[in-house]
Structure 1
Amino acid sequence: MIVITGATGQLGSRIVERVLDRVPATEVGVSVRDVTQAASLADRGVRVRSGDFTEPAGLAHAFEGADRVLIISASIRGAGAVAANLAAIDAARAAGAQRILYTSHQAASADSLFAPQLTHAATEDYLAGLGVPFTALRNGFYASTLGYYLGAARETGELVVPEDGPFSWTAHDDLAEAAAIALADDGVLDGVTPPLTAPELLDFEAVAAILSDLTGRTIKRVMAGDDEWKAAAVAGGMPEFAADFTLGMFRAARRGEFAVTDPTLEKLLGRPARTVREQLAAGL
Structure 2
Amino acid sequence: MIVVTGATGHLGKLVVEGLLEKLPADQVVAAVRTPEKAAGLAERGVEVRRADYTDPESLVTAFKGADKVLLVSSSEVGKRVEQHEAVIEAAKQAGVGHLVYTSAPRATTSALVLAPEHKATEELIEASGLTATILRNNWYHENYADTIKQAAETGSFVGSAGDGRVAGAARADYAAAAVAVLTGEGHEGKVYELAGDTAYSYADLAAEVGKATGRETRYVDLPADEHAKALTEAGLPEPVAGFLVALDANTRDGLLAETTADLRTLIGRPATPIGVTVAEVAGTR
TM category (shorter chain) comes to: over 0.9
- Which residues of 2 match residues 72-221 of structure 1 at below 5 A? 72-78=72-78, 80-109=79-108, 112-114=111-113, 116-164=114-162, 165-187=164-186, 189-221=187-219
Which segments of 5 or more consecutive residues in structure 2 lack a partner in the other structure?
none
- Which residues of 2 match residues 245-264 of structure 1 at below 5 A? 245-264=243-262
Query: What's the CA shift for 1:129?
Result: 2.2
- The equivalent residue for 1:45 is 45
**Contact 1:107/1:258 (8 A) holds in 2:** no
Question: What do the CA deviations read for 1:93-143 (whole angstroms, capped 9, x no partner)?
Answer: 2101110011112242455241x2111111111112222210111112111
Question: What do the CA deviations read for 1:11-41 (whole angstroms, capped 9, x no partner)?
Answer: 0000000011111111111211100000111
Extract structure 1 runs of 4+ deviating beyond 2 A.
189-194
Per the alignment, do residues 141 and 25 of structure 1 end up closer, same or farther by CA in structure 2, a change over 3 Å counting? Answer: same
Please report the TM-score for the alignment, with normalisation by the length of structure 1: 0.95
Percent identity (aligned): 37
SS at match of 1:153: helix
**Contact 1:110/1:122 (8 A) holds in 2:** no
Query: How many Å separate the matches in 1 of 2:50 and 2:192?
Result: 32
One-letter amino acid of the structure 1 residue matched with residue 31 of structure 2: S
Question: What do the CA deviations read for 1:228-262 (whole angstroms, capped 9, x no partner)?
Answer: 11112112111111111111211111111111111
One-letter amino acid of the structure 2 residue matched with residue 177 of structure 1: A
One-letter amino acid of the structure 1 residue matched with residue 191 of structure 2: T
Q: Which moved more, 1:66-75 or 1:238-247?
A: 238-247
Query: How many Å separate the matches in 2 of 1:245 and 1:190?
Result: 34
Question: What do the CA deviations read for 1:134-158 (whole angstroms, capped 9, x no partner)?
Answer: 0111112111011121222222222
One-letter amino acid of the structure 2 residue matched with residue 231 of structure 1: K
RMSD: 1.4
Query: How many Å separate the matches in 2 of 1:245 and 1:44?
Result: 40
One-letter amino acid of the structure 2 residue matched with residue 69 of structure 1: V
Query: How many Å separate the matches in 2 of 1:91 and 1:282?
Result: 39
Please report the TM-score for the alignment, with normalisation by the length of structure 2: 0.94
Which segments of 5 or more consecutive residues in structure 1 lack a partner in the other structure?
none
Per the alignment, do residues 257 and 191 of structure 1 end up closer, same or farther by CA in structure 2, a change over 3 Å counting? Answer: farther
Give the total of aligned pairs: 281
**Contact 2:98/2:188 (8 A) holds in 1:** no
Query: What's the CA shift for 1:198?
Result: 1.4
SS at match of 1:194: strand
Per the alignment, do residues 185 and 163 of structure 1 end up closer, same or farther by CA in structure 2, a change over 3 Å counting? Answer: closer
Per the alignment, do residues 273 and 163 of structure 1 end up closer, same or farther by CA in structure 2, a change over 3 Å counting? Answer: closer
Per the alignment, do residues 39 and 270 of structure 1 end up closer, same or farther by CA in structure 2, a change over 3 Å counting? Answer: same
**Contact 2:151/2:209 (8 A) holds in 1:** no
One-letter amino acid of the structure 1 residue matched with residue 91 of structure 2: A
